[in-house]
């Protein structure tokens, strides 16, 4: 790690870049095709540090003078295509990505009027950058997909930083319509972490209220902004928390009912909770308790849950629901709607969670990530409500901890009282304890697993739990020693729970990694999961599985853990696999026309789905009940062959 001050580091890296440019200029005098590798490496170093993009922006004239773009398409910026630029940045080899990034910094300078280029106008440069940003709106939410995360030399982070830089300079107004569509796509999945989405809506609001920006026809954008900043008659003009609290004092029963109904309607429409919503709920507590079900928009199931556990629900509102934890309102609502409290240990577990003392490590970590606006225990309790209410809303963000996160999701879905126990151990004792084949494992003192640093861009429960789970998962792998099959065969049932099938199939040879018996592997999958060939047995408990993730050119990115939640007919009569992908955004393009759907095919919030043959083409590992055999010989030959061919021409060329 550098010991220089940020200014000194920028100065040193800038000087190195200037030297590389000067050397290139000299070399080009004798060799017009002299390589630019040193310039690109110096540029990469600058792009990777705060302030580095500003330094490169200031050097756009020098970059052009050194003919960095000569002998390439980038020498003629007018012919550049946004779709090709997107691929260069997200999928290109390192030098391609870096020269594309330099080109976009150059075009930004042209668009802003800070540099004149004879080959492209300011208007054309701006339009080009606008289209490129619209093609990469997933980056504007602050998330990277698997392909981005796997790139070497922090290229994924560099591209993400570049897009934020472009956005800061060009403004949201240029891509407002596309941005609204992107936000709505993210909201369909009902993520637990919504801060980045709320920040984007805040930027949209600034655009809408900027008189210099033409926002005629921006009805979808205005509806999003109203839903977050003015969802009810009493706060329509976003008066501020204190003013709204004073207004509530003057409302009669009818006025409060109107407020409660408005908040509930907007929350259920989008999954977002306005910071004004907790103000209303806290005001209703103790004075107008009968309106709480209205403010939460509860169905009969939710109302029954509330009535049976009224004291607990009121305590959860008192202890966890604040403007700083507003999303907990939706979590509490969905917890009640799922009937989670009717499981006998849940009420006791939540009472314990309310009063749980936190160890110093957990308290400090929570405060560092979520601020000190509320005590750390408040953020953790709010996170518990969100997670139990939305088991498919948890995500790992940009961290290599998918094994831990699918465990958290499965426990929230299927064994929530056990999840509460794990949270208690981790938050109170800074330790969790599990067993592996009769041997007790404590997370204390274990070395880090896949996550060498504790993840910070996650929800409160994951923030506390994942470091422990990651270490224990790695320790279980160590305890397996040398065995004759993929270690997940033994780890997953011990780690996650009894409901994980003890039958196990992996398509790769354990020792060589070669793909073997692919058709047999797929026939076994169809026999265990396809309702036509397994006796119409549903997936009763979510099952962990491993997929080979590919990018939109069908190139292998890596292996990834998911859970299969359902296999069922969609509205069009097609058998689809519904699954949970813990990466905060399940809509992904895996190439070959395979696009993971997140809505439109019967998906529940947080699920992705694919036709079974397309899912099978990326399947690597699955669990099953060895006593439920199914009819593997009945698996359709055409679909098995199609899945094998899709795999062979993407991630499994030796299949």
- The string of pLDDT tens digits covering residues 579-624 is 999 987 888 889 999 999 999 999 999 999 999 999 999 999 999 9
Q: Are residues 195 and 166 in the same domain?
A: no
Q: Are residues 12 and 82 in the same domain?
A: yes
Residue range of the domain that includes 65: 6-170
Mean pLDDT score, 322-349: 97
CB atoms within 10 A of CB 298: 19
With respect to residue 235, please indicate whether it lies within any of the assigned structural domains: no
The CA-atom distances, in angstroms, between 292 and each of 244, 277, 307, 327, 333 are 18, 11, 11, 16, 10
Lowest pLDDT segment from 184-193, 271-280, 376-385 = 184-193
Q: Are residues 565 and 508 in the same domain?
A: yes
Mean pLDDT score, 128-152: 76
Residues 6+ apart with CB under 8 A from 294: 257, 260, 261, 264
Q: Are residues 397 and 358 in the same domain?
A: yes
Compute the 3-state secondary structure of the chain and give helix, strand, coil in percent, each to the nearest 5: 55, 10, 35
pLDDT at 141: 63
Q: Is the dihedral of CA 147, 149, 152, 156 positive or negative?
A: positive
Collapsing DSSP to helix, strand or coil, 472 comes out as helix
Question: Half-sphere exposure of residue 373, counting CA atoms within 13 Å on the CB side?
Answer: 11
Q: Are residues 383 and 524 in the same domain?
A: no
Mean pLDDT score, 447-459: 82
Name the percent of the chain lying above pLDDT 70: 97
Asked if pLDDT for residue 118 goes beyond 60, the answer is: yes
Collapsing DSSP to helix, strand or coil, 197 comes out as helix
296-330 pLDDT tens trace:
999 999 999 999 999 999 999 999 999 999 999 99
Contact criterion met (CB below 8 Å) for 442 and 435: no
Last-in-domain residue among 420, 450, 481:
481
Asked if pLDDT for residue 2 goes beyond 80, the answer is: no
Q: Are residues 191 and 127 in the same domain?
A: no
Contact criterion met (CB below 8 Å) for 256 and 284: yes
Residues 6+ apart with CB under 8 A from 641: 519
pLDDT at 655: 45
Q: Are residues 382 and 444 in the same domain?
A: yes
The more confidently predicted of residues 338 and 148 is 338
Asked if pLDDT for residue 518 goes beyond 90, the answer is: yes
With respect to residue 332, please indicate whether it lies within any of the assigned structural domains: no
216-257 pLDDT tens trace:
778 888 999 999 999 999 999 999 999 999 999 999 999 999
With respect to residue 413, please indicate whether it lies within any of the assigned structural domains: yes
Q: Are residues 402 and 373 in the same domain?
A: yes
With respect to residue 295, please indicate whether it lies within any of the assigned structural domains: no
Two structure tokens written together for 325: 């934890």
With respect to residue 102, please indicate whether it lies within any of the assigned structural domains: yes
Q: Are residues 18 and 160 in the same domain?
A: yes
Q: Are residues 527 and 609 in the same domain?
A: yes
Contact criterion met (CB below 8 Å) for 386 and 192: yes
Q: Are residues 446 and 516 in the same domain?
A: no
The more confidently predicted of residues 489 and 76 is 489
pLDDT at 398: 62
Two structure tokens written together for 211: 């008189």
Two structure tokens written together for 45: 């170093």
Among 602, 610, 555, 608, CA closest to 581: 608
Residues 6+ apart with CB under 8 A from 176: 204, 207, 215, 218, 221
Q: Are residues 97 and 14 in the same domain?
A: yes
Burial 136-159 (b: 16+ CB within 10 A, else e): bbbbbbbbbbbbbbbbeeebbbbb
Asked if pLDDT for residue 573 goes beyond 70, the answer is: yes
Say how far apart CA 292 and CA 296 lie, in whole Å.
6
DSSP state of 622: E
Contact criterion met (CB below 8 Å) for 479 and 437: yes
With respect to residue 591, please indicate whether it lies within any of the assigned structural domains: yes
Asked if pLDDT for residue 1 goes beyond 50, the answer is: no
Mean pLDDT score, 630-649: 96
10-52 pLDDT tens trace:
999 999 999 999 999 999 999 988 999 999 999 999 999 999 9
Number of domains in the chain: 4
pLDDT at 137: 74
The CA-atom distances, in angstroms, between 458 and each of 168, 192, 208, 461 are 24, 9, 30, 8
With respect to residue 302, please indicate whether it lies within any of the assigned structural domains: no
Average pLDDT taken over every residue of the chain: 92
């Amino acid at each position: 790690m550098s010991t220089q001050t940020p200014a000194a580091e920028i100065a040193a890296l800038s000087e190195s870049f200037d030297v590389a440019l000067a050397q290139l200029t000299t070399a080009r005098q004798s060799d017009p095709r002299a390589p630019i590798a040193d310039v690109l490496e110096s540029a990469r170093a600058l792009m990777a540090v705060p302030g580095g993009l500003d330094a490169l922006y200031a050097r756009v004239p020098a970059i052009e003078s050194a003919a960095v773009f000569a002998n390439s398409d980038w020498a003629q910026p007018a012919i550049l295509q946004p779709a090709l630029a997107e691929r260069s940045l997200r999928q290109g080899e390192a030098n391609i990505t870096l020269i594309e990034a330099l080109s976009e910094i150059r075009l930004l300078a042209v668009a802003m009027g800070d540099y004149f280029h004879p080959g492209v106008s300011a208007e054309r440069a701006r339009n080009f950058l606008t289209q490129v940003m619209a093609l990469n709106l997933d980056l504007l939410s602050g998330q990277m997909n698997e392909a981005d995360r796997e790139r070497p030399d922090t290229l994924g982070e560099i591209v993400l930083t570049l897009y934020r830089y472009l956005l800061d300079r060009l403004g949201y107004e240029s891509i407002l319509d596309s941005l609204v569509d992107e936000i709505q796509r993210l909201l369909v999945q009902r993520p637990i972490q919504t801060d980045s989405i709320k920040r984007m809506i805040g930027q949209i609001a600034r655009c809408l209220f900027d008189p210099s920006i033409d926002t005629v026809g921006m009805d979808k954008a205005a509806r999003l902004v109203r839903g977050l900043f003015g969802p009810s008659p009493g706060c329509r003009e976003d008066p501020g928390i204190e003013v709204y609290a004073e207004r509530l004092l003057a409302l009669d029963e009818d006025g409060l009912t109107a407020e409660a109904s408005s908040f509930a309607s907007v929350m259920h429409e989008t999954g977002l909770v306005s910071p004004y919503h907790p103000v209303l709920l806290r005001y209703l507590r103790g004075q107008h308790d009968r309106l709480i079900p209205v403010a939460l928009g509860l169905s009969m199931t939710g109302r029954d849950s509330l009535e049976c556990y009224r004291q607990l629900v009121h305590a959860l509102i008192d202890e966890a629901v604040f403007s700083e934890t507003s999303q907990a309102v939706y979590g509490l609502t969905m917890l009640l709607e799922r009937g989670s409290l009717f499981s006998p240990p849940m009420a006791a577990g939540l009472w314990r969670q309310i009063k749980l003392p936190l160890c110093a490590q957990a308290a400090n970590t929570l405060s560092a990530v979520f601020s000190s606006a509320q005590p750390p225990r408040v953020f953790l309790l709010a996170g518990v409500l969100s997670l139990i209410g939305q088991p498919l809303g948890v995500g790992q963000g940009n961290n290599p901890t998918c094994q831990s996160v699918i465990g958290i999701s499965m426990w929230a879905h299927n064994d929530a009282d056990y999840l509460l126990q794990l949270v208690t151990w981790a938050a109170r004792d800074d330790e969790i304890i599990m067993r592996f084949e009769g041997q007790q494992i404590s997370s204390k003192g274990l070395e880090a697993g896949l996550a060498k640093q504790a993840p910070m861009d996650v929800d409160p429960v994951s923030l506390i739990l994942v470091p422990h789970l990651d270490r224990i998962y790695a320790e279980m792998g160590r305890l397996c020693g040398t065995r004759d099959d993929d270690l997940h065969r033994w780890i997953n049932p011990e780690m996650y729970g009894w409901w994980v099938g003890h039958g196990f199939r992996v398509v790769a040879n354990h020792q060589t990694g070669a793909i073997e018996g692919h058709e047999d592997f797929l026939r076994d999958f169809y026999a265990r999961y396809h309702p036509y060939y397994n006796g119409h047995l549903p997936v009763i408990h979510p099952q962990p599985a491993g997929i080979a993730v590919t990018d939109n050119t069908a190139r292998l990115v890596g292996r990834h853990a998911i859970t299969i939640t359902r296999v069922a007919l969609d509205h069009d009569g097609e058998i689809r696999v519904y699954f949970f992908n813990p990466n905060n955004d399940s809509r992904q393009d895996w190439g070959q026309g395979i696009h993971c759907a997140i809505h439109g095919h019967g998906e529940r919030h947080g699920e992705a789905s694919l036709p079974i043959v397309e899912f099978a083409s990326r399947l690597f590992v699955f669990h099953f009940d060895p006593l439920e055999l199914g009819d593997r010989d009945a698996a359709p030959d055409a679909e098995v062959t199609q899945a094998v061919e899709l795999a062979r021409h993407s991630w499994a060329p030796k299949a």
